[in-house]
A and B are shown apart, each in its own frame.
Chain A
């Protein structure tokens, strides 16, 4: 266990970090918030917003500078993510899905692959997607059935993917498929990671799914029917896929936690402003202790979620394995986002249940944070494994 002092993140942001945060905040408040409710109602993909964010450099922050990106630290990109999520997590998820799709290429791609697939993301506002989940396998990734068979210089892929964010908008996918048919082959050797161009023949994009929340985000099922992928698009080598797919999460869970925190902060701000204005029994409801205690607990949760994601981002930026912290941050932030959003609706009372007020959307949007990027239950599995790992020395 390292010394305590060495692990504490900076107590104050640098000037540059503050400027990044200011830019993201301004964009979120002035461009995203005014249109968020309309996109939620229509479910239309918020491409105009995504394009503007891309023009300002707010997306694709993880792409290294050699490939035209900004090579931001995970910490810096989390600051930006929280600000954008404050405005609308539907739009922010569409943007974040790019980071998730790119991460396997960033951590495992060779120079040619990075140039080709990361380079294009900085030249045009393109989307990509992380294509792993199937109708029959979400948490149990090792149980995916999509098959990739080596035929000559290609791999031929057949299978069904589901709940793919940006599925209908992606220019390319990171795909995980099983290459070793032997059921006794361990997960660490049985799967391969591929980069697949979305216009490859045989790819059938399903209909846009209508979800409870984050409704403007594009989520679809995707069918692969005899899709040919050239061997140049294999990440690292055949059989290395599982580790790559999982390794991405150490870098993407902190931003997802940051997104949940942004939503929670928004819920807290909306509820607090309401409580200071709405009067009941002769005074502002904020002056009734029942309400102020609800808000106090909401504030506690938001502050702690922020500290958790910042710690997990800091750890990976320092070059340390952050799995424990990333899981804690994601699990905690997802849980409190739901609690805080629900509490916000409660503070608003009858108005909170109504679509004319902003908090019911927050409650609907929050739910997915306990499900995607590793369910709340899977996070607990990971945390307990990491936790016990410390004691077994």
Chain B
């Protein structure tokens, strides 16, 4: 029992940036655009660090898959309190087609290699909104999953997870080792303090290639075209309910 938590963090376009589609419609503009850690990944890191502070886990290892710049994202997690980092180098064409299937294979391999008891991920990334990596990772490892977690408590006989679902809140108990994915209300991520930013410089980030983990990065998906959502049409004001019904009938909606 190593008491090790593996946290996955993804480098995404910052939530405040106005997204622009490339002129060739092959994707969105990323060059020179501000990037930061996916907000749900921040919540995942915070939860892992909290577990370590409560002495329920011994070590927090943070992982990111991507090009050189992913190391900045790992550094941020280290400054928040993670112990060490693993940078899985994926760049060029492989990075463009990197998706939940490939990442979950990588995380599953690392979980075995690092003897992790717990994997915590953000519920989804704000760039692709896939909401698949946590679920796929659990399936590959044959581990239970607590997704959309808004509350997590480690108990003697397993983990109690309160999940945010459409109907409200669902409480489940799962055994360890397990995969959790963090939802918005799980916690409020801490600021990295200045002293912690300085301390993070001394923490180690290991470099790993997907091939070293025996993972095949081939994508089964091909992006055909990326477009902006249609411009929102102006609305129309109506005076009475009858007016509304007749307009809806005219538009063929009713």
Contacts and interface: CB of A to CB of B under 8 A. Distances in A.
Does A associate with B in a complex?
Answer: yes
Given A15-B72, A19-B75, A70 B198 contact: yes
Contacts of A23: 191-194, 197
Contacts of A26: 191
A61 B191 CA distance: 17
Interface string A111-140: 000000000000000000000000000000
A57 B201 contact: no
A61 B220 CA distance: 52
B120 interface: no
Interface in A35-64: 55-58, 61
Contact of B195 (A15, A27, A70): A70
A353 interface: no
Contacts, number: 31
A20 interface: yes
Interface residues of B, number: 12
B5 interface: no
B197 to A, nearest CB: 5
A55 B76 CA distance: 18
A91 to B, nearest CB: 16
Interface string B122-143: 0000000000000000000000
A318 interface: no
User: What is the interface residue range for chain A against chain B?
Assistant: 10 to 19
Given A20-B197, A23-B197, A15 B75 contact: yes
Given A15-B75, A19-B75, A19-B79, A55 B197 contact: no
Contacts of A16: 197-198, 201
Interface string A6-26: 000000000110011001001
A255 to B, nearest CB: 15
Interface string B173-205: 000000000000000000111110110010000
Nearest to B200: A19
Contact of A57 (B72, B75, B76, B195): B195
A183 B191 CA distance: 54
B191 A70 contact: no
Nearest to A71: B198
Given A15-B72, A16-B201, A55 B193 contact: yes
A2 to B, nearest CB: 31
A260 to B, nearest CB: 23
B129 to A, nearest CB: 24
B192 to A, nearest CB: 6
Nearest to B197: A19
A26 B16 CA distance: 12
Interface in B61-85: 72, 75-76, 79
A58 B191 CA distance: 11
B217 to A, nearest CB: 28
A58 B192 CA distance: 11
A57 B79 contact: no
A23 B79 CA distance: 11
Contacts of A70: 194-195, 198
B164 to A, nearest CB: 24
B193 A56 contact: yes
A23 B198 CA distance: 12
A70 B76 CA distance: 19
A337 B195 CA distance: 31
A20 B192 CA distance: 9
Contacts of A27: 191
Contacts of B198: 16, 70
Given A16-B201, A19-B79, A56 B72 contact: no
A15 B194 CA distance: 13
Given A15-B72, A15-B75, A20 B191 contact: no
Given A20-B197, A23-B191, 9 more contacts: A19-B197, A23-B194, A23-B197, A26-B191, A56-B191, A56-B194, A57-B195, A58-B194, A70-B195
10 contacts: A15-B72, A16-B197, A19-B75, A23-B192, A27-B191, A56-B194, A61-B194, A70-B194, A70-B195, A70-B198
Give me the 8 closest cross-chain CB pairs, A-B, nearest first.
Answer: A57-B194, A56-B193, A57-B193, A19-B197, A57-B195, A56-B191, A23-B192, A70-B194
Interface of A: 15-16, 19-20, 23, 26-27, 55-58, 61, 70
